[in-house]
């Protein structure tokens, strides 16, 4: 039993050690707020898409899509449970619409990558590994491989929804009360440059009409000094930011009736406004993984595998450490500022933690138990101890760490999200995740 406790704690500490190092870097002045925002944006538009492309495209296939059909069913079931519980509870306690969106995002989008993978990797080499064996010829390596495969397949659906619907939930809206919602520190709203066009600043001074096309709402310090976003080209994104250049509204009205392709352009902009760089990468990965293109990129004998695919995989491996390091630096900034959380901020954070970490285990475990009891006639996965364990773990993990990227880019809910992650991973995660792992292993030991 002690070995199980150690295995669960080790899995959590893998995450917390990197977060701690981010705190150390921030404490000694290597990681200021401007660098944190800049690095978060680089991670969002480059390293995270590389991670999603390499992980999704390498795992997905038509065969696995058919054999792993219970995984999207579990994800959809969890998503519906999270949505309903969040909507009911936040309305009962009287949260504002903006904070209802915040709680919904924190509850719906959990850590479906780094923490579950670390957990199953630790369990596979622990004393508990024999409980997870599926047959007499199973091995610890096979246990870890199956667990990671299930996790990555589950994460595909989480990433698709997180970087589309989740991205929209954590954006500013016109009716939001910005006086009670945390954004960047000591900032107010004035026009600056949209994120994805911020690297084209050489074009902005051409004319006032060009300014209209590229300006959007962001933040600047109250003291009137130049914004750190402008000085370091790390401009925040609001709800109008997209990957395509913005066009002048009056100009659009003039050309819509006369230009034949205006409808296509409008549709493309609507779709693009809903997309994000990681979501583009996820769809590209599906296009590669489910088509004959996959051997060109992932066959070790192909020309592209050692040259292109390995390069993308290498860049993707930097995404999670960067997210964790930025998280640690941001947490240090909050603790160093001595700025107490307002009651308006404490309520949604506490609500999200209670739903995500305390309520979900009591909803997830019965669903998995029912699948073990009655799902065997529909899928062989119902008899795999690793699958049962991972479905319980994936349903009970803390809030996704990379949501902090979205809040930093959109410049809203930033302080709330940092406090949410601090309490989730720094305080609640170790005891709750240890309990969840115990629960999963007991279910497997008793029922399989």
- Give the chain's domain count: 2
Helix (H) or strand (E) holding 187: strand 187-193
C-alpha closest to that of 4 among 448, 441, 430, 446: 441
Interval 155-182 mean pLDDT: 79
Share of the chain above pLDDT 90, in %: 32
**Which of residues 226, 242, 273 is at a domain's end?**
273
DSSP string for 346-386: HHHHHHHHIIIIIIHHHHHHHHHHHHHHHSTTT-GGGG-HH
Residues 6 or more apart from 374 whose CB is under 8 A from it? Answer: none
The answer to whether 316 and 54 have CB atoms below 8 angstroms apart is yes
Backbone φ and ψ of 149, nearest 5°: -60, -45
> C-alpha dihedral over 187, 188, 193, 195, to 10 degrees?
50
Residue with tokens 């994120």: 195
149 part of a folded domain: yes
Whether 182 shows a pLDDT value over 80: the answer reads: no
231, 363: one domain: no
pLDDT grade, residue 260 (50/70/90)? low
In this structure, what are the phi and psi dihedrals at residue 404, rounded to the nearest 5 degrees?
Answer: -65, -30
In three-state secondary structure terms, 216 is strand
The CA distance from 133 to 145, in Å, is: 12
Asked if residue 256 has pLDDT above 50, the reply is no
Cα 229 to chain centroid distance, Å, stands at: 23
Write the DSSP symbol of residue 45.
I
pLDDT in tens, 318-373: 988 888 888 788 778 767 765 666 777 889 999 999 999 999 999 999 999 999 99
Where residue 404 sits, what CATH number does that domain have?
1.20.1530
**Domain for residue 83, yes or no?**
yes
Residue 182 lies in a domain: no
**207 occurs within a structural domain:** yes
In degrees, rounded to 5, the angle at the alpha carbon of residue 205 between the alpha carbons of residues 203 and 206 is 70
Query: Are residues 338 and 291 part of one domain?
Result: yes
The whole-angstrom separation of Cα 258 and Cα 130 is 70
For residue 30, is it within any domain? yes
**Residues 198-217 pLDDT 10s:** 333 344 334 333 333 333 33
**Same-domain status, 191 and 172:** no
Residues 219 and 120 in one domain: no
Do 361 and 299 share a domain, yes or no?
yes
Tokens representing 272 are 């693009």
207: Cβ contacts below 8 Å, ≥ 6 apart = none
Rounded distance, CA 7 to CA 136, Å? 23
pLDDT at 404 over 70: yes
| Residue where a domain stops, chosen among 221, 243, 273 | 273
Chain mean pLDDT for the chain: 78
pLDDT band at 105 (very low <50, low <70, confident <90, very high): very high
Give the residue from 369, 374, 393, 372 showing the smallest Cα distance to 382: 372
The two most distant CA atoms of the chain are separated, in Å, by: 73
- Does residue 133 belong to any structural domain of this protein? yes
The Cα–Cα gap between 390 and 110 comes to 13
Same domain, 313 and 417: yes
The span from the CA of 292 to the CA of 68, in Å, is: 20
Three-state DSSP class for residue 219 = strand
> Looking at residue 237, what is its pLDDT?
32
Same domain, 266 and 297: no
Alpha-carbon dihedral angle through residues 64, 69, 74, 77, given to the nearest 10 degrees:
140
Confidence of residue 107 (pLDDT cuts 50, 70, 90): very high
Q: Give the pLDDT of residue 240.
A: 31
How much is the pTM? Answer: 0.68
Task: State the Cα–Cα distance between residues 104 and 85, nearest whole angstrom.
Answer: 9
CA 242 vs CA 59, 299, 378: distances in Å: 29, 34, 43
Boundary residue ending a domain (238, 273, 308) = 273
Q: Is 193 exposed, middle or buried (0-12, 13-18, 19+ CB in 10 A)?
A: buried
Q: What is the pLDDT of residue 433?
A: 86
Name the residue among 90, 89, 97 with its Cα closest to residue 180.
97
Nearest to 192 by CA among 211, 168, 175: 211
Q: Are residues 107 and 138 in the same domain?
A: yes
Q: Are both 165 and 201 inside the same structural domain?
A: no
Q: For residue 227, what pLDDT is reported?
A: 38
19 and 142 in a common domain: yes
Residue-range definition of the domain harbouring residue 402? 2-176+280-447
Q: Are residues 103 and 211 in the same domain?
A: no
- 57-72 average pLDDT score: 87
Residue range 285-299: mean pLDDT, rounded? 92
Q: Determine which of 159-163, 171-175, 398-402 has the lowest per-residue pLDDT on average.
A: 171-175
| Alpha carbons 153 and 74: distance in angstroms, whole number | 11
The position carrying tokens 């479905």 is 391
SS3 string of 215-249?
EEEEEEECCCCCCHHHHCCCCCCCCCCCCCCCCCH
Query: What's the confidence (pLDDT) of residue 83?
Result: 97
From the CB of residue 180, how many other CB atoms can be counted at a distance below 10 Å?
13
Q: Is residue 327 part of a domain?
A: yes
| Residue 181 covered by a domain | no
**Amino acid 209: pLDDT:** 37
Task: Check the CA dihedral 170-173-176-181 and report its sign.
Answer: positive
pLDDT in tens, 234-250: 323 333 333 333 334 44
Q: Do 233 and 286 fall into the same domain?
A: no
């Amino acid at each position: 039993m002690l070995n199980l406790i150690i295995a669960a704690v080790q899995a959590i500490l893998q995450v917390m050690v990197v977060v701690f190092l981010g705190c150390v870097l921030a404490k000694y002045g290597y990681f200021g707020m401007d660098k944190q925002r800049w690095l978060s944006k680089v991670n969002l538009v480059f390293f995270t898409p590389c991670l999603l492309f390499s992980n999704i495209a390498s795992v997905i296939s038509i065969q696995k899509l058919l054999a792993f059909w219970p995984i999207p069913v579990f994800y959809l079931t969890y998503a519906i449970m999270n949505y309903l519980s969040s909507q009911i509870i936040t309305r009962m306690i009287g949260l504002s619409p903006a904070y209802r969106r915040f709680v919904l995002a924190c509850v719906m989008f959990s850590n479906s990558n780094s923490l579950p993978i670390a957990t199953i990797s630790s369990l596979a080499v622990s004393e508990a590994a024999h409980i997870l064996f599926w047959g007499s010829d199973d091995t610890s390596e096979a246990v870890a491989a199956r667990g990671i495969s299930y996790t990555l397949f589950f994460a595909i659906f989480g990433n698709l929804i997180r970087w589309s619907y989740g991205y929209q939930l954590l954006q500013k809206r016109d009716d939001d009360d910005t006086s009670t919602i945390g954004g960047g520190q000591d900032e107010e709203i004035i026009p600056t440059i949209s994120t994805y066009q911020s690297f084209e600043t050489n074009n902005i001074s051409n004319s006032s009409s060009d300014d209209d096309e590229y300006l959007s709402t962001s933040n600047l310090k109250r003291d009137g000094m130049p914004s750190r976003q402008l000085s370091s080209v790390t401009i925040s994104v609001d709800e109008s930011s997209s990957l395509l250049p913005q066009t002048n509204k009056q100009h659009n009205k003039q050309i819509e009736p006369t230009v034949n392709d205006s409808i296509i352009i409008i549709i493309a902009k609507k779709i693009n406004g809903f997309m994000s760089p990681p979501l583009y990468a996820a769809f590209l990965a599906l296009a590669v993984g489910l088509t004959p293109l996959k051997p060109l990129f992932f066959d070790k004998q192909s020309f592209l595998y050692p040259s292109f695919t390995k390069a993308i995989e290498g860049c993707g491996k930097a995404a999670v450490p960067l997210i964790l390091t930025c998280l640690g630096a941001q947490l240090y900034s909050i603790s160093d500022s001595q700025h107490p959380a307002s009651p308006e901020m404490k309520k949604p954070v506490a609500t999200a933690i209670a739903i995500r970490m305390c309520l979900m285990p009591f909803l997830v475990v019965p669903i998995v138990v029912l699948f073990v009891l009655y799902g065997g006639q529909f899928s062989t996965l119902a008899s795999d101890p690793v699958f049962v364990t991972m479905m319980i773990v994936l349903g009970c993990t803390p809030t996704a760490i990379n949501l902090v990227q979205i809040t930093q880019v959109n410049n809203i809910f930033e302080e709330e999200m940092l406090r949410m992650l601090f309490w989730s991973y720094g305080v609640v995660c170790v005891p709750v995740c240890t309990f969840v792992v115990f629960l999963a292993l007991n279910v497997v030991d008793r029922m399989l």
